[in-house]
Structure formats: C-alpha cells, structure tokens
Amino acid sequence: MTVHHRDILGRFYRALQTANVSELNALLDPKFVLKAAAGMPNGLGGVYTGRMAALQDFWGRVAQQFDVKALPVEFSMVEGRDVFVTGQYVGVSRVTGRSFTADFIHRIHIQGDSLTRLTQFTDTFQWNAAANPILVERADASS
C-alpha cells in the first residue's frame, strides 16, 4: 500500500472517530457509494448512493443510535486501488446502554484523493444484541 493510500485512510478513520464532517466531506467523492452490511439494526443495512446519503442517512443514523468507533487494525492493498481494512467496532447503544464489539472488514476503493466506494462486512449480531437485547434473549430461549 502506498504512503498516499495510508494517509487518506488514516484521515478517514480519524474523521469517523471524531465525527469530523468537514474532513469526511473532503475525503468522500460526491458520488461515493456505501454498501452497509445486510442485517444491520433498525434498517441501517443497504446501499447509500452519494456522499450526503452516506453521511446523513447512514453515519448520521448510526451516531444517533450508537456511540461507536471504527478501530482499524490492518490494511491490505488489493487490485491496485482497493484496500481491505480489518478492525473492530467498539461501542454502546444509546438506547439500551449495552456495549458491544464487532469485527469488521471494509473494502474501500480510492481514486486520486477520494474514497469512491466502501463495502462493509461486520458481525451484525453484535450490533443487534446491543440495540435490542430482547431479540437475543428470545433467540437464546428458542435454541
């Protein structure tokens, strides 16, 4: 991975961790596409097309529901402009107060100085267990 890619990704994850919207605006391409993992709680999973959709409709809603940080651990370059980032989400549900840790893989496409696409893979069970522990208790009771 190039120094340029590492710099852009470092800025991106710091901006996510500090909710620095102006920095995210600078880093995300206007046509940025975010594919959030199916099964995310409260209908958060799905495709968000456009920088503002990702910022408001996904990350904005996540921030309303969770106090969570994406903590990257490893970066691996694939196919020239794509980077796989592995790490963990560490957070707490603002509704239930339950904490959680969920592994993630982000596949990020970088073009020039911008992120153009992010595909999220994460342990949605952990997110859902924090957001709605009754669902988890029901699943445990039925098994």
Mean of the per-residue pLDDT values for the chain? 91
| pTM, to two decimals | 0.90
pLDDT digits (tens, 9 = 90+) for 124-137: 999 999 998 776 55
Count CB atoms within 10 A of the CB of residue 11.
17
Q: Has residue 138 got a pLDDT over 60?
A: no
CA distance 140 to 143: 5
Q: Answer yes or no: are the C-beta atoms of 74 and 50 closer than 8 Å.
A: no
pLDDT digits (tens, 9 = 90+) for 26-74: 999 999 999 999 999 999 999 999 999 999 999 999 999 999 999 999 9
Q: Has residue 78 got a pLDDT over 90?
A: no
